[in-house]
């Protein structure tokens, strides 16, 4: 089997994929509730939190919507330095909320100073921040930003999109003072798409109770009532929950530290390779992602042709995203991949680059 070196969806282990095909159980049965509870408890270990984790039958964007509908009556501050952060702001606006923006040029991280400055000027109910921008391969300094935000504006809830980093890079929800952290199944957790996980602390839940018009499907107060009975208000994605149950146990038996180290080593290999081939990385040093590398396409590589070449070898990388399409390309290094897979990809990339020179 070949490998997907794209930043999600990613390869799924065969046994995990097969777990989805187990016979269905009624979701309101003790047997299913036991599985659901074990998933929620094991998921807490990924988020490094003592608080609840909601398991949503949606992709991550569903929880973007949950955050803006549950935590904000009126106004929030959106940190925007990439396409997915821009989308989260759009989600907020299209739900009728007011947003102000802290932005940097996409090659630069959002800084604690910028955020603190904005929070000093106005009251915001929530701060939305993407940890790992999948469009740019840039990691924002969440820990520093959260520390500054909690100091300057302790009532502002800090909501983090860790869609393409959770389980591949360290995010310490409780120790860093984060109120909500959300992720999707199809990235570093290496499941098929279709589930989103969202960890929410008690103060964020208390705020949700005070917010009007939370909707129905993503109403965290409603979800919490059911979660306390190891259940969901609507039918859960039962096949995916079977896969999640098995995959969380696999991830924890690998060990979080080992998993982070594996991702860091893959990132290092890809990034050193790119630099050694005269390519430039989009994100600056010190802020480069452990799960996806965005490379400036200054050689003008035709990504379609490159992928056709790689495809003959069972591999695929990703074009740039949104406005960065063709200006950059991206190599995903997350989930089930290991160093030998990356070495195989880079050897094929070298072969292609050499061929296209001749
Ligand atoms: C950083 C980030 N946020 C949000 C999303 C949207 O997630 P989903 O496609 O699971 O809704 C993505 C998808 O790639 C992403 O990379």
The predicted-structure confidence for 264-278, as pLDDT tens digits, reads as follows 999 999 999 999 999
Model pTM? 0.98
Nearby residues of 62 by Cβ (< 8 Å), 6 or more positions away: 56, 196, 217, 218
Q: What is the pLDDT of residue 237?
A: 98
Beta strand pairing call for 318-319 and 196-200: unpaired
Let me know the angle formed at the C-alpha of 177 by 172 and 181, rounded to the nearest 5 degrees.
Answer: 60
Distances (CA, A) of 217 to 31, 65, 161, 234, 263: 24, 10, 19, 8, 34
Average pLDDT, the chain: 97
Cβ pair 42, 56 in contact under 8 A? no
In angstroms, the CA 6 to CA 249 distance is: 24
Cβ-based burial of 125 (10 A; exposed 0-12, middle 13-18, buried ≥19):
buried
Beta strand pairing call for 52-56 and 196-200: antiparallel
Q: Taking 70 as the threshold, does the pLDDT of residue 1 lie above it?
A: no
164 touches ligand 1 (CB under 6 Å): yes
179 touches ligand 1 (CB under 6 Å): no
Q: Taking 80 as the threshold, does the pLDDT of residue 2 lie above it?
A: no
Cα 186 to ligand 1 centroid, rounded to whole Å = 9
Q: Taking residues 59-79, what's their average pLDDT?
A: 98
Q: Taking 60 as the threshold, does the pLDDT of residue 285 lie above it?
A: yes
Q: Taking 60 as the threshold, does the pLDDT of residue 111 lie above it?
A: yes
Q: Which of 134, 240, 283 to mutate to test the pocket of ligand 1 (most atoms within 8 A of CB)?
A: 134
Q: What is the pLDDT of residue 355?
A: 85
61 touches ligand 1 (CB under 6 Å): yes
Confidence of residue 187 (pLDDT cuts 50, 70, 90): very high
Q: What is the pLDDT of residue 357?
A: 78
Q: What is the largest CA-CA distance in the chain?
A: 66
Q: Taking residues 139-167, what's their average pLDDT?
A: 98
42 touches ligand 1 (CB under 6 Å): no
Q: Which of 65, 68, 86, 184 to mutate to test the pocket of ligand 1 (most atoms within 8 A of CB)?
A: 184
Cα 84 to ligand 1 centroid, rounded to whole Å = 7
84 touches ligand 1 (CB under 6 Å): yes
Determine the atom of ligand 1 nearest the C-alpha atom of 64: 4
Cα 331 to ligand 1 centroid, rounded to whole Å = 16
Q: What do you get for the CA distance between the two ends of the chain, in Å?
A: 30
Cα 121 to ligand 1 centroid, rounded to whole Å = 30
Determine the atom of ligand 1 nearest the C-alpha atom of 130: 1
């Amino acid at each position: 089997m070949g490998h997907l070196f794209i930043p999600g969806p990613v390869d799924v282990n065969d046994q995990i994929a097969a777990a989805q095909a187990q016979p269905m159980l009624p979701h309101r049965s003790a047997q299913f509730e036991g599985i659901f509870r074990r998933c929620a408890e094991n998921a807490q270990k990924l988020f490094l939190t003592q608080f609840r984790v909601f398991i949503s039958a949606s992709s991550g964007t569903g929880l973007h919507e949950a955050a803006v509908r549950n935590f904000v009556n009126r106004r929030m501050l959106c940190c925007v330095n990439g396409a997915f952060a821009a989308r989260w702001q759009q989600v907020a606006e299209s739900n009728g909320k007011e947003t102000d923006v802290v932005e940097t040029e996409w090659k630069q991280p959002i800084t604690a100073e910028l955020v603190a400055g904005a929070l000093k000027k106005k009251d915001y109910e929530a701060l939305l921040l993407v940890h790992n921008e999948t469009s740019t391969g840039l990691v924002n300094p969440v820990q520093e930003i959260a520390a500054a935000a909690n100091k300057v504006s302790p009532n502002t809830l800090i909501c983090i999109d860790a869609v393409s980093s959770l389980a591949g890079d360290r995010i310490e929800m409780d120790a860093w003072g984060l109120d909500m952290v959300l992720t999707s199944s199809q990235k570093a957790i290496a499941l098929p798409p279709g589930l989103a996980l969202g960890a929410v602390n008690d103060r964020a839940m208390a705020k949700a109770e005070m917010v009007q018009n939370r909707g129905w499907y993503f109403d965290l107060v409603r979800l919490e009532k059911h979660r306390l009975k190891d259940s969901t208000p609507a039918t859960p994605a039962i096949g995916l929950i079977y896969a999640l149950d098995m995959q969380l146990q696999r991830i924890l038996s690998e060990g979080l530290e080992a998993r982070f180290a594996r991702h860091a080593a893959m990132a290092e290999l890809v990034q050193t390779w790119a630099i050694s081939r005269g390519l430039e990385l989009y994100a600056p040093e010190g802020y480069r992602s452990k799960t996806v590398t965005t490379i400036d396409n200054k050689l003008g590589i035709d990504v379609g042709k490159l992928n056709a070449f790689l495809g003959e070898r069972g591999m695929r990388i990703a074009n740039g995203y949104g406005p960065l399409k063709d200006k950059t390309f991206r190599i995903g290094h997350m989930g089930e991949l290991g160093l030998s897979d990356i070495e195989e990809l880079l050897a094929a990339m070298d072969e292609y680059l050499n061929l296209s020179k001749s």
